[in-house]
Structure 1
């Protein structure tokens, strides 16, 4: 597994396999994007905006994107970051999300003053719930009726990880391409 900084233009066509797939986008606020151009535009807006740390997951060093890991701070508190991940259906079940998130969170804690990382997950998104639990995140609570999404009003389950919390070693770690 390889991780590299996300390049919306280069990685957008491959990531459209995720962001253009209605099943993959079930738990997102908006429905699947209709075309590659829209996927690229949205990835650009995220990476040029609030996502200071966003990576592409690939199976080979120069291979196409099969997933995306992002950590971002929306400005409430500079030391509290949100984590998110998505993996293409064809690449699921191979621990890519957990390994990528493990690396990204370790990198964040090593290079910033972040004290906390959290995940905001739909309670029916069982794969994401399991991934964050595997990484040592603690379920902190459920916010009822928190999101108005393309599938209706949804709850949010909040998982948190403090810098001081124990984290399991998720190996092998990805190779990083700068």
Structure 2
């Protein structure tokens, strides 16, 4: 998939160093499930696993976000397609140097276009740490509706955190 500035594609082995670099940034990892630093060996395993998935089959798929002008990996978009192939969960991570420039909005929007348009999904959900204001704002900007707050839902990095739950129906996509 391509947008004005990005290429969303399957991960490849050569992406491991860039994945390790941005996932090792403590600010990028702050609200994520992994710890920083994110070693190259772990990134190599992750990239192999990401590349083995299929965006059309139930399960997990991770899109690599490549900056088209530089051929550089700058982030990823995660999709977990449910067994019914009509619902999915989405997540996203972007290298710190590329945050705040609309790249995540552009990438997630392209993935949502595919999920709703090509794959015919009924609903896509997203979840984020309640303290992660930029992530929540991105989902709201794309038309996701806040469906709930799960208090002290996740124990991560030594603390209990609240999670925000968002949902977007096919009938709502494109109206934001």
Partner secondary structure for residue 42 of structure 1: helix
Any unmatched runs of 5+ in structure 1?
170-178
Aligned to 2:64: 56
Secondary structure of 2:22 counterpart? helix
Q: TM-score, normalised by structure 1?
A: 0.84
Is residue 2:16 matched to residue 1:32? no
Alpha-carbon shift at residue 8 of structure 1 (Å) = 4.2
Report the number of matched residues: 167
SS in 1 for 2:147: strand
In the alignment, is the contact (CA less than 8 A) between 1:30 and 1:149 conserved in 2? Answer: no
Q: Structure 2 length normalisation: TM-score?
A: 0.84
The alpha-carbon distance between structure 1 residues 47 and 122, as it changes in their structure 2 partners (threshold 3 A), is farther
- CA positional deviation for 1:101: 0.5
Q: Which runs of at least 4 in structure 1 moved beyond 4 Å after TM superposition? A: none
- The yes-or-no answer on 1:130 pairing with 2:110 is no
Question: Higher RCO, 1 or 2 (CA under 8 Å, sep at least 6)?
Answer: 1
CA RMSD of aligned residues (A): 2.0
CA contact (8 A) 1:71 1:82 kept: yes
